[in-house]
Amino acid sequence: MKFFVDTADIGEIRACAELGLADGVTTNPSLVKKAGRPFKEVLAEICALIPGPVSAEVAALDAETMIAEGRVLAKLAPNIVVKVPLTWDGLKTCRMLAQENIRSNVTLCFSANQALLAAKAGAAYISPFVGRLDDVGAEGMALIGEIRAIYDNYGFATQLLAASLRSPEHVKQCALAGADVATVPPGILRELAKHPLTDKGLATFSADWAATGQSIL
């Protein structure tokens, strides 16, 4: 499973890339707002740092303007993937951009049927939002399994990019369910490294090593 970093914070992306944990990056308007920097400037910086796919979301809601925005975003760097919402106009945009060899990440997916339509439209990635389904009492992770089964049944090339992941458990369940990609906030990536028994064991090893009075360097 690939890891994309779900942030527009260049410092956080760099820190994850240093550990080989940034196979790509996803951004959205809320993350761009949080970064507090000009959209195109921050995208250019991310694309120069990360060779993998970098998702940049359109702002318009109608297909004609979304297509125009998608073309502009795609010109920023060869690794840009244009993020479009899972609406009828978004699917039309995805189709049109695919015909121009511009990759799309279809976002805000909350059902298997939506994911089926995105694959038919030629999406490079589908982004089901696990955490937001959990928020409304549904079982977000079940959707990952459903999409995996449907895409495998028909050999769709669209990559399953699990999004809105809020916990290490979400990440593990995505890997078990066969997601191609998990896009993960940097804080959750750091949490994946943690275990209380690791901390406890390390405290003992450190104390015992100090008691030997030795030095490696």
Would you name the residues annotated as active-site residues?
A: 83
Candidates 24, 28, 84, 89; binder of ligand G3P (CB under 6 A) is: 28
Hey, how many other C-beta atoms are within 10 angstroms of the C-beta on 127? 28
Q: State whether residue 85 is helix, strand or coil.
A: strand
Mutual angle of helices 112-121 and 140-154, in 10-degree steps: 40
CB of 174 to ligand G3P, least distance (A): 13
The stretch near ligand G3P (CB under 6 A) out of 35-43, 96-104, 163-171, 209-217 is 163-171
CA angle 155, 159, 160 (to 5 degrees): 105
CB of 210 to ligand G3P, least distance (A): 42
173: alpha, beta or left, given left = phi > 0 and alpha = psi -120 to 50? alpha
Q: Does position 158 bind ligand G3P by CB under 6 A?
A: no
Selected binder of ligand G3P within 1, 15, 72, 131 (CB under 6 A): 131
Kindly tell me which of 8 and 119 has the beta carbon lying closer to ligand G3P: 8
Residue 159 and residue 110: Cα distance in Å, rounded? Answer: 16
Fill in the amino acid letter for 152: D
Tell which one of 93, 105, 158, 164 touches ligand G3P (CB under 6 A). Answer: 164
Please, which residue, 37 or 166, has the CB nearer to ligand G3P?
A: 166
Q: Across-strand partners of 2?
A: 181
User: What are the structure tokens assigned to 89, written together?
Assistant: 């106009």
Residue 184 is classified by DSSP as: E
Site for ligand G3P in 179-208 (CB under 6 A): 183
* CB of 42 vs ligand G3P, minimal distance in Å: 15
On the CB side of 28, how many CA atoms lie within 13 Å of its CA? 15
Binding flag, residue 26, ligand G3P (CB under 6 A): yes
| 129 is a site residue for ligand G3P (CB under 6 A) | yes
Q: What residues make contact with ligand G3P under the rule CB under 6 A? A: 6, 26, 28, 129, 131-132, 163-164, 166, 183
